[in-house]
């Protein structure tokens, strides 16, 4: 019996460190860490939208700060792409501190980001030449630990890369925001699996008619396509103000100013 016990003690470690499967073992360990830590991310800092109709639908009452969140335009057009860009900018704007933005192309409009609450002097731009460079910059920024948020623009990303970003966000407490661009092939940016805590689609909608000529506040169809630990949902929202705050769309007769006039 003692000899058999000794043989078993020798065999187990040899199986664990077999040279033929170190990559597979590393991948399995990463998956276990994601599963073990997913609940911890929900129990940490939460960034609420401050709108009960939205926060009540989100697991934890808001966005987990130490986590990866993804957003994309609902359709492959400029209006929806701009709406998704302003959405992630508004989320980042409500966290104090500098923001790192890994650029895929030079199409950001600083005054527009400022109107969504993200002032130019808060943004550190990193111009990247490929998706791989964007992901590397994002992970480095997350592990730095001194940023309010790290944002990256990609067109395609593997599940393993999103796991790495999710783990880096959890370890540092820094929010990771991924803006997923539509590809020329028309492939849905959210069709691939991801370790992100939430995944969003943003569609532009007609603004409310104004009593005088002018441009009204942007209006979006905000679609929570997927969230870990909760159900999908959608809302009609008004775009961000100068502090990055969204507003729930209300018909004119339900607005406070309209009610006051009627009285």
CATH of the domain at 236: 3.40.50.300
Tokens representing 139? 């992970």
Domain extent at residue 180: 64-206+215-254
| Residue 92, domain member (yes or no) | yes
- What number is the average pLDDT over the span 165-171? 96
| Residue 37, domain member (yes or no) | no
Chain segment 60-71, per-residue pLDDT in tens: 999 999 999 999
| Residue 158, domain member (yes or no) | yes
Q: Which among 107, 84, 91, 67 is positioned nearest to 182, based on CA atoms?
A: 84
> HEC string of 192-239?
CCCCCCEEEEEEEECCCCCCCCCCCCCEEEEEEEEECCCCCEEEEEEC
| Residue 262, domain member (yes or no) | no
pLDDT at 214 over 80: no
Q: Residue 27 — pLDDT band, cuts 50, 70, 90?
A: low
Average pLDDT, the chain: 82
Q: Output Rg (C-alpha) for the chain, integer angstroms.
A: 22
| Residue 123, domain member (yes or no) | yes
Lowest mean pLDDT: which of 182-186, 188-192, 222-226? 182-186
Distances (CA, A) of 257 to 30, 197, 237, 239, 249: 53, 37, 18, 19, 14
pLDDT at 11 over 70: no
- What number is the average pLDDT over the span 91-106? 92
- Residue 105: what pLDDT? 80
| Residue 125, domain member (yes or no) | yes
Q: Residue 251 — pLDDT band, cuts 50, 70, 90?
A: low
- What number is the average pLDDT over the span 87-108? 92
| Residue 122, domain member (yes or no) | yes
Q: Which residues are CB-contacts of 55 (< 8 A; sequence separation ≥ 6)? A: 48, 49, 61, 62
| Residue 39, domain member (yes or no) | no
Q: How many separate domains does the chain show?
A: 1
Tokens representing 27? 């991948």
Q: State the Cα–Cα distance between residues 175 and 99, nearest whole angstrom.
A: 10
Report which of residues 202 and 239 the model is more confident about: 202
């Amino acid at each position: 019996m003692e000899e058999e016990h000794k043989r078993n003690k020798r065999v187990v470690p040899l199986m664990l460190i077999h040279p033929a499967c170190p990559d597979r073992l590393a991948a399995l360990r990463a998956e276990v860490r994601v599963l073990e830590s997913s609940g911890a991310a929900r129990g940490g800092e939460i960034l609420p939208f401050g709108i009960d109709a939205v926060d009540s639908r989100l697991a934890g009452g808001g966005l987990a700060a130490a986590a990866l969140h993804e957003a994309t335009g609902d359709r492959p057009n400029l209006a929806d792409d701009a709406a998704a860009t302003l959405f992630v900018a508004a989320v980042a704007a409500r966290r104090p501190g500098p923001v790192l933005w890994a650029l895929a192309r030079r199409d950001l409009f600083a005054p527009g980001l400022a109107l969504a609450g993200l002032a130019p002097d808060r943004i550190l731009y990193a111009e990247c030449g490929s998706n791989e460079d964007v992901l590397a910059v994002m992970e480095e920024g997350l592990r730095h630990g001194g940023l309010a948020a790290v944002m990256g623009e990609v067109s395609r990303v593997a599940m393993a890369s999103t796991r790495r970003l999710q783990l880096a966000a959890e370890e540092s407490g820094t929010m990771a925001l991924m803006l997923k661009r539509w590809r020329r092939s028309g492939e849905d940016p959210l069709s691939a699996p991801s370790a992100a805590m939430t995944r969003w689609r943003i569609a532009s909608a007609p603004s409310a008619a104004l009593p005088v000529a002018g441009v009204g506040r942007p209006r979006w169809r905000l679609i929570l396509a997927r969230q870990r630990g909760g159900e999908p949902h959608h809302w009609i929202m008004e775009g961000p103000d100068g502090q990055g705050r969204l507003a729930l769309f209300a018909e004119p007769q339900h607005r406070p100013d309209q009610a006051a006039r009627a009285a």
